[in-house]
A and B are shown apart, each in its own frame.
Chain A
Amino acid sequence: MNAFRAFILKEFRHILRDKRTLLVLFGMPIAQIILFGYAITTEIQNANIAVLDRSRDVRSLELTRTILASGYFTLNADVRSYDQIEEAFRKGRIKMALVIPPDFAAKLQRGEADLQVLTDATDPNMASTLVSYVNAIAARSGAQGKPPGIRIEPQMHYNHNQASVNMFVPGVITIVMLLVSAMLTSIAITREKELGNMEILLVSPLKPLVIILGKVIPYLLLSMVNVSTVITVGHLLFGVPMEGSWLVLAVACLLFVVCALSLGVVISTIARTQQVALMLSLMALMMPTILLSNFIFPISSMPFPLQLISNIIPAKYFIVIIKGVMLKGVGFEVLWKEAAVLAGMTLLFIGISVRKFRIRL
């Protein structure tokens, strides 16, 4: 058996004998996807609202009924003035109030009808979602003058029922891959330094590249197993669509895993202890990735400096790719730019880690 194979075998033994690593490796991805899939959701159903109808004509009643019939809203307060709306907001009885001004029907005839939507913006995400629901409903019934009782169907492309799981599964896959690949490899390499094993590995004919690859390849394989699990769970349990090619998805995942692994190696060349490696992975990778990758918070609504910073987050590009493949069914003919950026970053990280790998203490 040659040195390289012996190294990989040894690495697998480390991983398989460490219960905590195993738990992080295989338990966390499943836990995360189930948590994100079930518990954290941006869909809104039966939001409590109030309607202050100051017009009380055919058109205003029609609009009210249309909105309430959408299923997104429940009328929860009988209000007759702005003061009562204010009170309902304070008591937390409603999340949104709709104010229909006087002479609604007449104004609608002239094409200048307006509608006031008040929301409780202490929960901004929910507020903006509610506003967009009302907008969609009002736009249809107002512009086209449809009779009351019509079914409202806001058309959301690619994520027809706006299932948040379709947004989160790609995000979770990204986070999990980054976590497993970058964090666990950086910790695994720094563990050798911290426990003094690196001291004897350095005083041996092993080349730096062999040490790095020997550390990385087991995690590469395990990460790919992980990705398959998460995608399968997302696909079967939550019905995340798979519109594109599995092969394209696999190649994209492989590319991102290699990118994350090389980031992990870069971290391990900086960190001297496992603690530092862990903190660096969490602070320097996890936080920016969650915040700046379009996973939870839309980049387009961020201040310009943050938008600039988001360009150096590898996960941002991977999320574009994975959503493109899974939800839109496109391939590299569309996504080549993102793939090229990821490949470029990977080469950069590998370059840095080979240069920075210390052949002495």
Chain B
Amino acid sequence: MIRFDQVVKRYGNTTAVDRATFTVERGELFGLIGPDGAGKSSMMRMLVTLLLPDDGTITLDGHDVVADYRFVRRNVGYMPGTFSLYTDLTVEENLQFFANVFGTTIQENYHLIAEIYEQLAPFKDRRAGALSGGMKQKLALCCALIHRPLALILDEPTTGVDAVSRAEFWSMLRRLTTTGITIVVSTPYLEEAALCDRVGLINDGRLMQIDTIGGIVASYDHALWRIDADNTRTALQVLREHPAARAAYLYRSSVMMSTDQELDPEHLTHELLRSGVTGARVSRAQPDIEDRFMDLMLEHA
């Protein structure tokens, strides 16, 4: 459905997207995950024809996004990173406007948005600017869906939205894929990777790994240790210098350390005590996506 092939985007001397290559299947919920400035928005803007790639090709349903940009513009629903509806128009007027712009009516495709719009209906005469963050995102989603697009491109739709609304938003996306719509969504939150069919992990313009969350976590092939101590900060300093450590970093008030070989936890506790770290408890940890992301960043550094 969507295919990126060796896509490059540069701004002056900095490379925002470096030879990105991946495909998204029809009806798939695909996540682009990475920190701010990783290149997620640039990829999406190239996909929706707003930016031109410097190299490589992107196709949507077989249509080149540069040569056949009109096809793409008719057939994608795009939600930019910032709220881009008209704040001085009401909920209903916004939806009506975007329906008309795409040459359709609210009634014609109401079934697509019914579930979401019902939550907005009590506020349909309220100006969009006066909605809460979560409601704004729902309205923006309705407006992006109203013309029955082949693919939905959502740039950080859950950033700055409360936890409950975020969960709701993801379950809406999940249900939408059952109607055959392909969805590409970007997010800075690694924990949202579990809600996608597949994800691409991006850092510094490079797609480091593309897989299901299970595949990504399973590809972690080091031993991982969790160390709790009375003074986490000193423990982190000491462990960073440890000869066996590949990496050591803070994660949820514990120190995580990855090693290439097995360790004797008791031995490590003693070593720590000798360096002045008291109350250390060392245990084997199960890696999750955060650990894999740290690992990938280390590999690509």
Alpha-carbon distance between A251 and B289 when the two chains are bound, in angstroms: 69
The answer to whether B50 touches A203, judged by C-beta atoms less than 8 angstroms apart, is: yes
The answer to whether A205 touches B102, judged by C-beta atoms less than 8 angstroms apart, is: yes
Query: Does A333 have its Cβ within 8 Å of any Cβ on chain B?
Result: no
Q: How far is the CB of B106 from chain A (nearest CB, A)?
A: 11
The answer to whether B80 touches A205, judged by C-beta atoms less than 8 angstroms apart, is: no
Alpha-carbon distance between A360 and B86 when the two chains are bound, in angstroms: 20
Query: Does B184 have its Cβ within 8 Å of any Cβ on chain A?
Result: no
Q: Mark B102-120, 1 if CB is under 8 A from A, else 0.
A: 1100000000000000000
Residue among B70, B83, B84, B87 with max Cβ neighbours from chain A (10 Å): B84
A199-B50, A361-B45, A361-B51 are known contacts. Are A204 and B88 too (CB-CB below 8 A)? no
The answer to whether B80 touches A10, judged by C-beta atoms less than 8 angstroms apart, is: no
Which chain B residue shows the least CB distance to A360?
B50
Number of A-B contacts (CB under 8 A): 76
Which residues of the other chain, A, contact B85 by a CB distance below 8 angstroms? 197, 200
Stretch from A1-9, A72-80, A164-172, A320-328 that touches the partner: A1-9
Q: How far is the CB of B151 from chain A (nearest CB, A)?
A: 12
Which residues of the other chain, B, contact A13 by a CB distance below 8 angstroms? 88-89, 93
Q: Mark A180-197, 1 if CB is under 8 A from B, else 0.
A: 000000000000000111
Q: How far is the CB of B157 from chain A (nearest CB, A)?
A: 14
A18-B88, A197-B86 are known contacts. Are A204 and B80 too (CB-CB below 8 A)? no
Query: Does A206 have its Cβ within 8 Å of any Cβ on chain B?
Result: yes
A13-B88, A17-B88 are known contacts. Are A6 and B96 too (CB-CB below 8 A)? yes
Partner of A10, one of B70, B76, B93: B93
A14-B88, A360-B50, A361-B51 are known contacts. Are A200 and B78 too (CB-CB below 8 A)? yes
Query: Does B178 have its Cβ within 8 Å of any Cβ on chain A?
Result: no
**Total interface residues in chain B, CB < 8 Å:** 32
Which chain B residue shows the least CB distance to A4?
B100
- Tell me which residues from 3 to 52 in chain A have a Cβ below 8 Å from any Cβ of chain B: 3, 5-7, 10, 13-14, 17-18
Q: How far is the CB of A184 from chain B (nearest CB, A)?
A: 15
Q: How far is the CB of A206 from chain B (nearest CB, A)?
A: 6
Q: Mark A295-321, 1 if CB is under 8 A from B, else 0.
A: 000000000000000000000000000
The answer to whether B50 touches A6, judged by C-beta atoms less than 8 angstroms apart, is: no
The answer to whether B76 touches A199, judged by C-beta atoms less than 8 angstroms apart, is: no
A10-B89, A13-B88 are known contacts. Are A196 and B80 too (CB-CB below 8 A)? yes
Alpha-carbon distance between A361 and B69 when the two chains are bound, in angstroms: 13
Query: Does A212 have its Cβ within 8 Å of any Cβ on chain B?
Result: no
The answer to whether A204 touches B50, judged by C-beta atoms less than 8 angstroms apart, is: no
Which residues of the other chain, A, contact B48 by a CB distance below 8 angstroms? 203
Q: How far is the CB of B293 from chain A (nearest CB, A)?
A: 29
Which residues of the other chain, B, contact A200 by a CB distance below 8 angstroms? 78, 80, 84-85, 98, 143-144
Which residues of the other chain, A, contact B73 by a CB distance below 8 angstroms? 202-205
Which residues of the other chain, B, contact A203 by a CB distance below 8 angstroms? 48-50, 72-73, 76, 78
Binding site for A on B (CB under 8 A): 45, 48-52, 69-70, 72-74, 76, 78, 80, 82-89, 93, 96-98, 100-103, 143-144
A-B pairs with the 4 shortest C-beta distances?
A6-B100, A196-B84, A203-B78, A361-B50
A-B contact pairs, 15 of them (CB 8 A): A7-B101, A10-B97, A13-B93, A14-B86, A195-B84, A200-B78, A200-B84, A203-B50, A203-B76, A203-B78, A204-B73, A204-B102, A205-B74, A206-B101, A360-B49
Binding site for B on A (CB under 8 A): 1-3, 5-7, 10, 13-14, 17-18, 195-197, 199-206, 359-361
